[in-house]
Structure formats: C-alpha cells, structure tokens
Amino acid sequence: AMSDLNLPLIVITAAHGLPDGANKAFGRYFRMVRYEEAVKWPEEERKAVVGVVNFGHFHIDGKFCKKFTSLKVVSNIGVGVDHIDVKDLKEKGIYVGHTPGVLSTTVAEMAFTLMLAAARNLIQADRYCHSDRDVPSSRPTNMFMGQDLYGKAVGIVGMGAIGKEIGVRCKAFGMKIFYHNRKPCTKQEETTAGSAKYCENLSELLKISDFVFLVVPLTKSTRNLISTNEFKAMKTTAHLINVARGGVVDTKALVNALKTKEIASAALDVTEPEPLPLSHELKELPNAILVPHIGSATRECRLRMTYMALDNLRLGLSSNSLIRTPGEIPTESEVEKINARYQERLEAEDHKLT
C-alpha cells in the first residue's frame, strides 16, 4: 500500500501476508512494499528501504541485506529466529527484533490442547463419528480408551516463558512437573511453574514422564535433540508434544518410534520438513496428531505480536534500541511487564483494528 510519501519505507517478507490488523497498524507509521515488488526496483529506489518486517520462515542474511543497503532494522513477528542470520546482521550494524513473552500463554494453551487431544484420542474419536463406520446401534462401550492427566508426570524440555505457562496449567490439572534446561531455574520460578523439579539429565526426564513437551529454540545444540536413544528412554505409554520447531525432533526416528509403538503418540504443531510433503509417512500414522504450526494463531496473540514488532521497528529506527533482541533472556518480571503492556494495548486498540 502506497501511503504518505514522507513516511519511512519498509519491506514486508511474508509469503501469506501479515496477520490481520497488522497492515493497518504498520500503515500508520510506514510506507510498505512487498519484498517481491521491492526486489524488482532499481538499486537507487531500494536505498529508501530502512526496515524489514518478517512474518513466517523467510530466510534473511547478509546476502539479503545487500539488496537494501540502507537497512537498519529487521523486525520479526514471532519468537523463533532460526531463519534469520542474527550474527551476520549484527556485524553489519543491523538490529534484529523478535516478540517473546506476548505469545507464551497462547502457545501454552495450544500445547495443552494437544496434550488433551492425545490423552483422550480426541482426533481419532472425532474422525470416527464423522465417518460411516459409526453405527450407533452396535457401538462398542470401550472405544477410544484414554488416560487421565491427573497424577501424571509431565516433562518440560525448555523451561522458558512458554514452558513455565505450560507448568502452571499442568499443575492446575493435578499433574507432577519435571523439567530439563541448560541450567536450573530459581526456586521462585520453579514454584511459579507448578512446583517444577529440575532434571539435570534429559534421559532421566524422559524415563519418568507420561507427557513430554518440547519448548526449546532450534539451535545447533537442539537439532535432533530427540532421536533414537531418546525414544528408547521414553515410556511406551508416553506422548510427545512439540510446539517448538520440527528440527528439534529427528523425523525418521519419530516415524519409527510411532510405527513400532515405542511411544504411544506424538502431537505436533511443527514438523521437519514443514509443511510435510503430501505423501509423508507421518501422515499415514494414526498415532500422530498433526496441526499446521498454529501455536500462536489466535486473533489476540497475533495482534500482541504485531504491536511488539511495530515497537521494535520504531524504536530501532529512532533510538537505536529494541524492546527485545534474540539472545537476551528476559527475566520473569520483564516478561510479565511486556505481557501486561501489550494486553492493555490490545484491549484499548481492539475496536480500531476490526
């Protein structure tokens, strides 16, 4: 959208467009052009671009920045920045912003939804009722037997902001919470996260957990974190829930573990590759629940993410500072403040953006 020509120019990298309400929010302060358009411009015109707003998995690195030589800020709508070469950009003096905190409760709710669906065979039961196999007169009484959440052990791999919110919710359901992190949380944080207990060893956590949640960023050290040995360590009755990144799990090993019933099921918001090709093995498996990376896909959450990305962009351009840069771990009180700020703003702005 070409608006006021005096506004700073930004490029949008988002294969399927920005979240609802974002065009209006950014449009107040910036002229926006889609990446596909901007690339065709002559070099002289591309020099006007000062910022990039990214939504989705568009690869941004030094090579990308050569196309826009006046670039100052890359603002990512989302937490994960495995598609952005942060180090490369920093060396070029370009700020990178992301949006942690504002999606923690939403993604935790999704993780919880996946756990409930897995524990009670919800998806299979729904499919059954929608199919012509469901003959009410001869319906067996012991169909789709699930398991209680109450009293079960939960293993949270990655006790960051999202992990803590998962802990809070599991505690409310009467579950026992264990977690694995590079280093233990403070006693206060453990208490807040549902009286969580630290497991120094990942395999020790996997051995005792009935439900395993993956909530770590994708890095060199977390790629294929869950592979053949890890599935061997898990209970045969355990469920794996991944709301992190597909690459944290070794897909081949996962398919094998599900086929051989080494674990009970997997519920995945993310996969490797993503999206899965049409004929992928995971799609054939009845004990795999698959959803298309919708962990933060609520209206409220996407707006909070949008506002934060907008603030990151404006701050980066005006005062050379950002609310959030990848790699800085926000403290609990910082996360709470960020959350409260954007929740208030959501409630105040809501009527303007619909």
Q: Which residues of 298-326 are buried (b: 16+ CB within 10 A; e: fewer)?
A: bebbbbbbbbbbbbbbbbbbeeeebbbbb
| DSSP symbol at 136 | G
Q: Pick the catalytic residue from 120, 223, 280, 293.
A: 293
Q: Is 200 a catalytic residue?
A: no
* Cα 349 from Cα 343, distance rounded (Å): 10
Q: Is the sign of the CA dihedral 299, 11, 327, 312 positive or negative?
A: negative
Q: Yes or no: say if 58 and 15 are a contact pair by the CB < 8 Å rule.
A: yes
Q: Pick the catalytic residue from 239, 245, 314, 324.
A: 245
Q: Is 293 a catalytic residue?
A: yes
Q: Pick the catalytic residue from 109, 189, 274, 332.
A: 274
Question: Token pair for residue 302?
Answer: 């996407």
* Cα 299 from Cα 326, distance rounded (Å): 24
**What is the residue-wise DSSP string for 48-61?**
TEEEEEE-SS--B-
Cα distances (angstroms) measured from residue 5 to each of 9, 30, 36, 40: 9, 9, 20, 19
For 306, the enclosing helix (H) or strand (E) is helix 299-319
* Cα 84 from Cα 65, distance rounded (Å): 11
Report the length, in residues, of the chain. Answer: 354
* Cα 79 from Cα 312, distance rounded (Å): 13
Q: Yes or no: say if 255 and 281 are a contact pair by the CB < 8 Å rule.
A: yes
Q: Yes or no: say if 51 and 29 are a contact pair by the CB < 8 Å rule.
A: no
Question: Token pair for residue 349?
Answer: 């702005």
Q: Yes or no: say if 196 and 159 are a contact pair by the CB < 8 Å rule.
A: yes
Active site residues: 245, 274, 293
